[in-house]
Amino acid sequence: MFVEGLVSTIIPVYNRSFLLQEAVASVLAQTYRPLEIIIIDDGSTDETGRVADRLAEAHSEVRAIHRQNGGAGAARETGRLVARGEFIQYLDSDDLLLPTKFELQIAGLRRYDECAVAYGKTRFCVIGERPTDAPLKRTGERIETMFPSFLQLRWWSTSTALYKRATTDAAGPWTNLKNEEDWEYDCRIASLGVRLYYCDVFVSETRSHRGTHLSDGGNYPDKLRDRATAHKLILGHAMAAGISHETSEMRRFARELFLLSRQCGAAGLADEARELFELARRASGTERSRGIDFVLYRAGAQLLGWRAMGSLTCSLDQLRI
């Protein structure tokens, strides 16, 4: 049961105590109330867990939860399950919200009931440097729906969007993926056909730094496995939403599936390579799936094996760059 008007901000964190304090401060500085902040300490091995506890002791709006390390998606899910807000904000521990974000975005969501997610402009900056007023990716554009544009790329940051709780409930749980879990999650929300409310102001800052990220875990094959799973799910969301293979976004995604198939093959992930190849053909549509590139690649994979064919074509791709 949610609390009407309450905004729940979920912050997963791993070994990032100082930045966590800044992220929490940016939420407490919001001009909107009521709010709650749920810090999910994802098995930190430094003082971050103690800092989270101190923040909870110092501020009634803050609570800290400690869990075994499992990645950002799993940590966000831990927070989602205990959040009490009518609105949900996800925030990475190295990023910041700007003070009027909740006030402006909630006003828009209340005014336009058909909208389920609000977003605004996000700045990008390197920590220690002055941010510029250049919107990150496509956050400076007014876009009415998440699909089909989200099939081309996740064009906002985790801090950019504010979701209605009913929408996150309908989307269901975060996956345990450690790579591209955020893109898959937003594409799942996109498949619900939600409309967007746009605030033509800067609402958050995405900050780059050197250090450990929650998405850094795992070796290269593990990351490719996660990416393969995420891409498979994303294609399913797009097809459930009725995105045609004739759209430029689906054509681009089909090419990305084919590229990822080759990369998985080169890494020795034959099953993933084979599945992604077939998904690329499916995303391309009946006529395009019979193209000479697909025919020759399948023949080469059957003759040489998926690993050798992936290695060969990835090497050729590098020569073209």
For the stretch 244-278, pLDDT in tens is 999 999 999 999 999 999 999 999 999 999 999 99
DSSP string, 148-165: THHHH---S-TTT-EEEH
Q: Which residues pair with 62 in a beta bridge?
A: 37
Tokens of 150: 């989200």
Decide if 47 contacts 38 (C-beta within 8 A): no
Other beta carbons less than 10 A from residue 87's beta carbon: 25
Decide if 84 contacts 97 (C-beta within 8 A): no
pTM of the model: 0.94
The mean of the pLDDT values for the chain is 94
3-215, CATH topology level: Spore Coat Polysaccharide Biosynthesis Protein SpsA; Chain A (3.90.550)
Of 93, 79, 95, the closest CA to residue 10 belongs to 79
More confident residue, 276 or 220: 276
Q: Where in the chain is the domain with CATH 3.90.550.10?
A: 3-215
